[in-house]
Amino acid sequence: MRDIEDTIKAGERNRDTMVLVSNYCASARVEKFGGTGMIEQATGLPIGLHGMRCDFAPEGGMACWDLRDAVIDFYDRNCISCQHRQPLRLPNLLEIIAERDRARAAREARDALDAELAAKALEARNAVRALLAPNLGAIARTLLDDIGLFDAHRTAENFERVTQSARLAPEHFTPELVVYVSGLAKDQPWFAEAALIILDAVGADDAEIVTLATTMLHRGHTVRSAVEKLLPRIHVVSAGVIPDIVDSAINLADPDDREFFHGGSEQRMSRDSAFLVALYQQFPSEVIAAIECMLLSGKRALVERAGRGLHALRGSNAKVAAPILRTLMSVYVRAPSLVSDLKDNDDRLPDLAEAMNDAFDALPQEVDRLLQSLYEGAPPSHRARVMMAYALAVRVGYNEPPVPATSPRHSLALPRLIWATTVERDDKVLEEVTSAFRAGSRGLELVVREQLDAFVGALFLLDDRLAEVDAEKGQPGDDFLATMERRNRRSMMRGLIDEFVEWASKAAAGDNASVAKVVGMFDTIPDGRDNLRGALLGATKALSGDLAGLKLVLPHLYTALVGSSVLGRSYAATAVGELPYRSRANIPDLLFEAFGALLWDQYVAVHKAAVNAFQRATLPEQFRPNAALAILNLIHYYRVQSNEDQFLAKCVRILSGMVDLFGEGNAKVRRYLIEVAMGIEPLFLRSDIQSLSYSLGSEPEFAKLAARMVPHLVDRHNQSDAAMNLLGQVSPDGFRTSAQAFHDAAITVLNDDLKTSLGIVDAFLRTDMLDEADALVTALLENNGDTIRMRRRRTLLRWPQLALRFERAVSARDMDAIGETGRAWSEAAAVDTQDREDERERRARSGLPF
């Protein structure tokens, strides 16, 4: 919800900025970069990437989420020196520029003041050192000068000089110099680390070193040298400072991933939990109390840090979270109410969840009881997070080994999720449970195999719930949202049934007793429950991986293929498409014959499912001619139907790869498929046109289809080469017979993809269509316009035009034309050089405003 609110605010900010741009100059305008999202469609606000453009400015510039950033950049590059401005009204974008200039001036003033204060402070510290120097010996004064040099220039080299002097010659640090070092470290944080190394090297009192080190950590600096000095002196640390330094200990043991990858060098150091473990062993109750305070802080960063701390301590004590277990679970479940800056209710708090899983492993019964107590009577947002906790408990990482069947955490959490699907009525909670099963069962096969009875029983209950949803009748006053919610609920129930079948079948695969248990469901499903019977056919893919499973599944699959149920036949067709390739040799021809008949089935659901399955299935060669005729028959029928272009395009693509089966008539079939494709909405051919070019491109008629598709393949935002690749598949004869179509396509795409327009010019030249190429370049120049913005593009279009004229002049031995073309080329080159220099100068004026 917060993301939606922030997005709407960004749109409102862009809307206001667009008004300022339009008020500034009649020539200025805002252009959108990219597509339109759902929030933008619903609100009408300009959300997304936008940039400022003008015909009196060269093409280019940035498009930004915050339009103000793009406007400032455009103004600096173009508007400052523009002589063509046509001001309209106030207020205008000069308000944004003035705001930027005020902020810049204030920042520069602050920087100047900071520099002045820093210089005065350095002068005061130099005065103190000047008073101290006469009381020191020659070497000690040199060491003091080194400290002064480090004060003036805080470089790594000067830091090393100061600290190495202490390590190599600690005897020259007199008591007066040591007192100065200690005092300077207390007042100047920049010197604390160097002072710590010096005090340790000269053998200063442990209490003084511990005080300085803990002060450094309390400031929030996870400094390795401070930790190194504290570890051997852990017995000197006071219990009172534990709350102040646990943060740093946790950051060192397990840094936040964002800081780890994007922070400074200290955040990038390797993980080391030794200091945190040492603190816990010395002060267990204080460390746990500090972590509990983080949990109750109400701040997401601190809550996550507490989770990382508990996870880092699990090696020292698996039950480390036991004293604060209720707090841990409550904060996770009630995070929407307790954590003020939670991203949203779906925020999984991954670090805290990891600590919760550690507790689940160590204290499974206790965690389960707490989650159940937090679930009972809780609002939907809290119940959803309980299910989120169970979902995270059963999730297996990509590189983790399979979970044993006896794992307490997984054996407790999985039944809770199964149970929730049968009793929970809130859509939000069910969405969370559904996402758990949608994540897949990889690694959980042994656990699921032990819970097969629960899955089988839940399938019948879910089918009952699906029937309830289907029985619901929309009320006359129901709005679109209510109808959509009902559809989503049905889709959720249907998806859960499919997921349960997949989980059960994958877990049962390879175990004869389990396979028999899953397949045995076919015999227990009452008549009329075609949804459940069809969904169970989805187990075919996993169970037919070996011969034993295939033998058990095939009778039920064949029965569904030839059965009277339309829904059953469509599910059976889909199941055939999912059969593993390695099992095809063991499948009798009778089954493939029954499948082929479905391609001729009169019911739409059946033959569409059969076509979809045919794309994945590998039919024996003797059945392919019949399949090709069936698909050709479907093309004949759907060609004259409305709103069926997507399915028709799929049939055309499939049959185009089978035209050789038609023998001597294959050329006729190719031409027919091209004719059919010409009537299909280009949107549905975009993903298939490249494959069609390989199977149909040899036909000259294919050029018409290619010319029709070119405007729909260009992508100004992603620089796709699809259109250029398609042009490469068109035959020379195709370009000659469809020259006008390609001419029109080049003009259509000029503004979106100059490269494709020039690619068509190049294709004409390669095919010796010189007149057509000259006419196309001339038309492109006329359509390009002669504004400053289009001047660079106009220059690029001039090169092929001049090259053509030069070749013709040379062929005709027309010396006047050769000279004229040469002068025009030189003039165009001079203009191009000037434009490039102007572009570099404009870019130099731009400073990234963000």
Summarize pLDDT for 229-284 with one digit per residue, the tens.
899 999 999 999 999 999 989 988 888 765 444 444 444 457 889 999 999 999 99
pLDDT at residue 611, rounded to an integer: 95
Phi, psi dihedral angles at 30 (to 5 degrees): -115, 135
**pLDDT, the chain, mean:** 89
On whether the CB atoms of residues 685 and 649 are closer than 8 A, the answer is yes
Does residue 126 or residue 81 have the better pLDDT?
126
> Around Cβ 589, how many Cβ atoms within 10 Å?
10
Phi, psi dihedral angles at 845 (to 5 degrees): -80, -10
Smallest Cα–Cα separation from 415: which of 387, 396, 379, 384? Answer: 387
The shares of helix, strand and coil residues in the chain, as percent rounded to the nearest 5, are 75, 0, 25
| Distance, CA of 472 to chain centre | 37
Range from 275-284, 581-590, 781-790 carrying the lowest mean pLDDT:
781-790
> How far, in Å, are 237, 444, 454, 744, 769 from residue 732 at the CA level?
85, 58, 65, 18, 10
Given the structure tokens 């400032």, which residue do they identify? 72
Is 843 in a helix, a strand, or coil?
Answer: helix
Size of the chain in residues: 850
d(CA 387, CA 430): 9
Residue 305 has pLDDT above 60, yes or no: yes
Smallest Cα–Cα separation from 507: which of 550, 438, 446, 418? Answer: 446
Is 164 in a helix, a strand, or coil?
Answer: helix
Percent of the chain with pLDDT over 90: 60
Rounded (10°) CA dihedral 635, 636, 637, 640: 100
**pLDDT band for position 341 (50/70/90)?**
confident
d(CA 755, CA 717): 13
pLDDT at residue 52, rounded to an integer: 93
Q: What is the DSSP string of 116-161?
A: HHHHHHHHHHHHHHHHHGGGS-HHHHHHHHHHHHHHHS--HHHHHH
> How far, in Å, are 318, 752, 763 from residue 359 at the CA level?
8, 57, 68
How do residues 786-813 score in pLDDT, each as one tens digit? 777 788 888 888 888 888 888 888 888 8
pLDDT at residue 322, rounded to an integer: 96
Gyration radius from the chain CA atoms: 37
Is 473 in a helix, a strand, or coil?
Answer: coil
pTM, rounded to two decimals: 0.79
pLDDT at residue 266, rounded to an integer: 44
Give, as one character, the DSSP assignment of residue 343. S
| Distance, CA of 650 to chain centre | 29
pLDDT at residue 363, rounded to an integer: 95
Residues contacting 719, CB < 8 A, separation 6+ = none
On whether the CB atoms of residues 616 and 580 are closer than 8 A, the answer is no
pLDDT at residue 850, rounded to an integer: 46
| Averaged pLDDT, 631-644 | 93
Residue 205 has pLDDT above 50, yes or no: yes
How do residues 690-725 score in pLDDT, each as one tens digit? 999 999 988 889 999 999 999 998 876 666 788 899
pLDDT at residue 42, rounded to an integer: 87
Residues contacting 349, CB < 8 A, separation 6+ = 300, 303, 304, 307, 332, 335
Q: What is the DSSP string of 512-555?
A: HHHHHHHHTHHHHSPTT-HHHHHHHGGGHHHHTTSHHHHHHHHH
Residue 137 has pLDDT above 90, yes or no: no
pLDDT at residue 59, rounded to an integer: 79
On whether the CB atoms of residues 592 and 624 are closer than 8 A, the answer is no
| Averaged pLDDT, 116-137 | 92
Question: Which amino acid is it at 775?
Answer: A
Rounded (10°) CA dihedral 497, 503, 505, 510: -170
Q: Which residues pair with 51 in a beta bridge?
A: 31
**pLDDT band for position 818 (50/70/90)?**
confident
On whether the CB atoms of residues 762 and 775 are closer than 8 A, the answer is no
Range from 135-139, 263-267, 599-603, 714-718 carrying the lowest mean pLDDT:
263-267
Given the structure tokens 């089988």, which residue do they identify? 456
Strands 49-53 and 29-33, by their bridges, are antiparallel
Give, as one character, the DSSP assignment of residue 270. P
On whether the CB atoms of residues 583 and 575 are closer than 8 A, the answer is no
With 0-12 CB in 10 A as exposed, 13-18 as middle and 19+ as buried, what is 234? middle
d(CA 605, CA 608): 5
| CB contact burial 165-191 (16+ within 10 A = b; e otherwise) | bbeeebebbbeebbebbbebbeeeeeb
Helix (H) or strand (E) holding 32: strand 29-33
pLDDT at residue 264, rounded to an integer: 46
> Six-digit token pair at 440?
């897949």
Given the structure tokens 């994007």, which residue do they identify? 262
> Around Cβ 693, how many Cβ atoms within 10 Å?
21
E-assigned strand segments in 170-277: none
Residue 781 has pLDDT above 90, yes or no: no
Residues contacting 366, CB < 8 A, separation 6+ = 322, 325
Q: What is the DSSP string of 367-422?
A: HHHHHHHHHTT--HHHHHHHHHHHHHHH---TTSPPPPTT-HHHHHHHHHHHHHHH
| Averaged pLDDT, 169-173 | 87
